[in-house]
Amino acid sequence: MADNGANKMWGGRFTAAPAEVMRKINPSIGFDYRLYAQDIAASKVHAAMLARQGIIGAEDNARIQDGLDQVRREIEEGRLEFSIDLEDIHMNVEARLKELIGEPAGRLHTARSRNDQAVTDVRLWMRDAIDALDGAIQEMQRALIERASEHRATIMPGFTHMQVAQPVTFGHHLMAYVEMFGRDRERLAGARERTNVSPLGAAALAGTAFPIDRHYTAKELGFSRPTENSMDSVGSRDHIVELLFCCAMHAVHLSRINEEITLWCSDGFRFIALSDAFTTGSSIMPQKRNPDAAELVRGKTGRVVGSLNALLMTVKGLPMTFMKDMQEDKEPLFDALETVQLCIAATTGMVRDMTVRPEPMRRFLDRGFPTATDLADWLVREAGVPFRDAHHITARIVAKAEERGCTLGELDLDTMRAVDGRVTDAVFAVLAPEHSVQSRRSYGGTSPDVVGEAIERATRRWL
């Protein structure tokens, strides 16, 4: 072909150069270069299968295998300069392979398309990314469990509607996040299972007339099996959407714990302190110590959720099978995974770094009448009062304490008995927050002993 600027990738079909804007909007090498290892691994297995099936010769396969190894070394050593004119990682690798080994490189693409090649690479990348993400969440769970074990008897206020509700232990509070993050890991495990199927051999959309062995390539690449339908193989992106949902849900959970870290550091709480490693100062106020790491994790949640929304909007109206729109699947995928990994690392660091302050936690329990439920329960248990009646009696007693500006434990017996004569001085034994947490011994409750049992179960299950 004459050197007229036409794209040589497409042979004789195109005779004119693409518009300059196409050189900007069309290439994906700026982000899919991350798939080089997966692309080369899949190509090596594909070539081995072609030779095994007698589709290409053994000598060609050997040269392809050696050439692909050389290409990978050049990429890893930073010696291969990618070209946007070759659009993507697949064509960049193939072009360099041709420079190295000549004609046999042209046989590598037999019985496959960039459509199944790209989806195979992404699935391989996702599998590794899910494993890395699972490991990072597990390490965060480990940090939470370790801190929960230290503070399974440290009393703090539990809140509903951001109002003091009942006493709990700090260890119990931290273990709530261990459970949340455990469900995130379970979702990831399911996503990995559905990701771990091989589309290689689906070709452009209809399969191939060559006698390939898709079960062989699936097994060699560590997939559980080949995909069932060639059109679905290249025309679906729900495996990526599912992983992005997992990332978004996990980011929301990360945001919740970091919201609490931010609150706990604030002047209104002072439940914890973070060191210089995870805080910043103010450019004008020298006294400030800002929990910026926690705030940034909270802020980046919108970015991860945005990646999920972006891909959902991309695929929502696409007919079968491959459309160029689908090239937009990779940037949100890469960005979401990198963002979540960063947020996990920051959160794990803060959990390990934070200094817990039991005294402010305990003092907070002098407000909000957190043992009112214990008083109502005492009336049910000791005086035989139906709970609904006990609830009303307790509310009237709380009103008396509120009028006098004291806690329930500081309210005198005569005032209580004026509300209901069945109250005795034995009630004072249940009005201390320490008694309240000790009494919550139901499965999953906040009693230090029960929390200890939960820690043991979580350790066996998650670590």
Count the neighbouring beta carbons within 10 Å of the beta carbon of residue 103: 9
216, exposed or middle or buried, with CB in 10 Å at 0-12, 13-18, 19+?
middle
The secondary structure element, H or E, covering residue 164 is strand 163-169
Q: Which of 83, 224, 275, 282 is catalytic?
A: 282
Instruction: Round to whole Å and give the CA distance between 396 and 236.
Output: 62
- Does 151 qualify as catalytic in the annotation? no
The half-sphere exposure of 155 on its side-chain side, counting CA atoms within 13 A, is 21
Give, as one character, the DSSP assignment of residue 6: -
Annotated catalytic residue within 83, 161, 224, 442: 161
* Residue 315 φ/ψ region, left for φ over 0, alpha for ψ in the -120 to 50 degree band, beta for the rest: alpha
Active-site annotation holds for 282: yes
| CB half-sphere exposure, 319, CA atoms < 13 A | 0
Q: What are the CA-CA distances from residue 242 to residues 189, 191, 196, 312 (Å)?
A: 11, 6, 13, 10
- For residue 454, the one-letter residue type is A
CB 174, CB 141: distance < 8 Å: no
Look at residue 458 and give its three-state secondary structure.
helix
Instruction: Please confirm whether the linkage preceding 321 is cis (ω < 30° from 0).
Output: yes
**Nearest to 263, CA basis, from 217, 306, 300, 295:** 295
272-273/163-169 β-pairing: unpaired
In angstroms, the CA 230 to CA 456 distance is 47
Residue 234 and residue 205 in contact, taking contact as beta carbons nearer than 8 Å = yes
* 151 touches 185 (CB < 8 A): no
Cα separation, 213 vs 112, in Å, equals: 12
Burial environment of residue 426 by CB neighbours within 10 A (0 to 12, 13 to 18, 19 or more): exposed
Q: Which residues are catalytic?
A: 161, 282
